[in-house]
Chain A
Amino acid sequence: MYTLLSGLWKYLFQKDEFFVLILGLDNAGKTTYLEQTKTKFNKGYKGMNLGKVTTTVGLNIGKIDLGKTRLNFWDLGGQEELQSLWDKYYAESHAIIYVVDSSDRERIEESKAAFDKMVVNSSLHGVPLLLLANKQDLQGCMSLGSVKDVFNPIPQVVGDRDCSTEAVSALRGDGVYEGINWLAECIKRNVVSRPPTQKEIT
C-alpha cells in the first residue's frame, strides 16, 4: 500500500519536464546567460560570480520551475570541435536558445553558419527557437535589427515553428525574464508534437 500511495503521489505531483538547449559559438555568453537565468528564477539560488565563468567543455545543466513546468537547460560548449556534439541532443530537446555575441562582428558569419547547420536538422523539426543578440550592454555592438538581418533564416525552416529574436545582456540580466517566459509558453503550445519527458516512477 505504501508503494501504491507513494507512486500515486509522485504520479499526481510530478512536474512536466522539458529540455532546452543553449547553443551558440564559444564566448557568446551561453553559460553566463544560464547562470543569470538560474539566479532570476530560482529563489534563494546564489549565482556564481559571473566574472568567473570559464569556457565550457562538456555541458552545464540547470533547471528552473515555472508552476507545473520544469525547464532543464543544457548549456553546451560552443568551440568548433565541440559543435559536433550538439546534434546528439537534438532529438530530446523541446526548445533551442541560440546565443549570438553581437559585439563580435568578425565572427557573426561563423555564427550564422553554425546556426544554419543546426536549424535545418530534421530532429529539430517544429521546435521553438529563441535567438538572442547578447552583450547589448557593450558600446558599438550590433543592434537587434542588424543581427536579425544577418540571421534572417530561410523561411521554410522557420515557417512551422515558433521563433523569436531578442536583445539581451546576459551579464546584466536584461531581457532574461521575457525570453524564458516566451519560450515556456511556446513549449507548452508545442506539447502535442513534443510531449514532456516522463520521469519514470519507481
Chain B
Amino acid sequence: MLKLFGREWIRKGIRTAASTAMGGQFRSNLWDPVLIVAQIIVLQSSFYLCLGLWIFFLDVIGRFDVSLDQMFTQSDLGLYEDSGRTNIIAYALNSLTCAFILWFVVGRTRQCLDFAATVHIGHFIGCIIFTGHVPQTFWWWMTNIICVALMTVLGEYLCMRSEMKAIPLMGQRVDL
C-alpha cells in the first residue's frame, strides 16, 4: 500500500525544501518552518487516511457498522465490547503504519516523539471539535498514549537504522 502511495513522490514533495540526504548530500539541520508545517499536515492527513482504512478494513472483517464516530468518539473505544476492541486494534495498527510514514516524511530520530505527539494532539483537538467536549474515558487516553509510544518507538527504530548507514563521502561509490 505504501508503495502505491508513492514513496518517491512524498520524498520529493516534502524534502526539496531542505537539502536531501539522498544522493550522498548531508541534510541541513536548519530550522525550516515551511518544511515542518508541511510535514505536520502530511502526517495528520495520513494519520486519518490510514486510521479510516484500518477501521474500514476491520469493520468489514468483523461485520460492524462503519461510522465516523469510531474515529472521534471516545465511547467507541473499550475492551468490553467487540467493536471497541477492534477499534483499539485499528488504532494500534494505524500507529504502526504512521511510524513508517514518519520515517518517509521526517526521517529524523530526534524528531519522532515530537511529530508523533503532534499528530495525537491534532487528533485530540479533532475529537473535541467533533464531540464538543474533552475526551474523558480511561480507554481513550490509554489508547492514545500507547499509540504515541508505539509510533515513536517504531519510528525511531526505523529512522535510526537509516541514520546509522554509512555516509558516502564521494557522492558515488568509490571502487578501491
Binding site for B on A (CB under 8 A): 1-4, 7-8, 10-11, 200-202
Do B29 and A4 touch (CB < 8 A)? no
Residue on A with the closest CB to B29? A202
Dominant SS among interface residues on chain A: helix
Q: Identify which of A1, A2, A3, A11 gathers the most chain B CB atoms within 10 Å of its CB.
A: A3
Minimum distance in angstroms from B40 CB to a CB of chain A: 7
From B36, B117, B121, A4 is in contact (CB under 8 Å) with B36
Q: How large is the interface on B (under 10, 10 to 19, 20 to 34, 35 or more residues)?
A: 10 to 19
Dominant SS among interface residues on chain B: helix
Do A1 and B40 touch (CB < 8 A)? yes
Do A4 and B30 touch (CB < 8 A)? no
- B31 adjacent to chain A (CB < 8 Å): yes
Give the docked Cα–Cα distance between A2 and B114 (Å).
6
Given contacts A4-B40, A202-B29, 17 further A-B contacts (CB under 8 A): A1-B114, A1-B115, A1-B117, A1-B118, A2-B117, A2-B118, A3-B111, A4-B33, A4-B36, A7-B33, A7-B36, A8-B33, A10-B31, A200-B30, A201-B30, A201-B31, A202-B30
Binding site for A on B (CB under 8 A): 29-31, 33, 36-37, 40, 111, 114-115, 117-118, 121
Residue on A with the closest CB to B110? A3
Q: Which 4 A-B pairs have the closest CB atoms?
A: A7-B31, A201-B31, A1-B118, A2-B114
Give the docked Cα–Cα distance between A1 and B148 (Å).
14
**Which residues of B have CB within 8 Å of A201?**
30-31
Give the docked Cα–Cα distance between A201 and B117 (Å).
22
Give the docked Cα–Cα distance between A200 and B37 (Å).
19
Give the docked Cα–Cα distance between A192 and B34 (Å).
27
Minimum distance in angstroms from A3 CB to a CB of chain B: 5
Minimum distance in angstroms from B101 CB to a CB of chain A: 17
Give the docked Cα–Cα distance between A88 and B111 (Å).
38
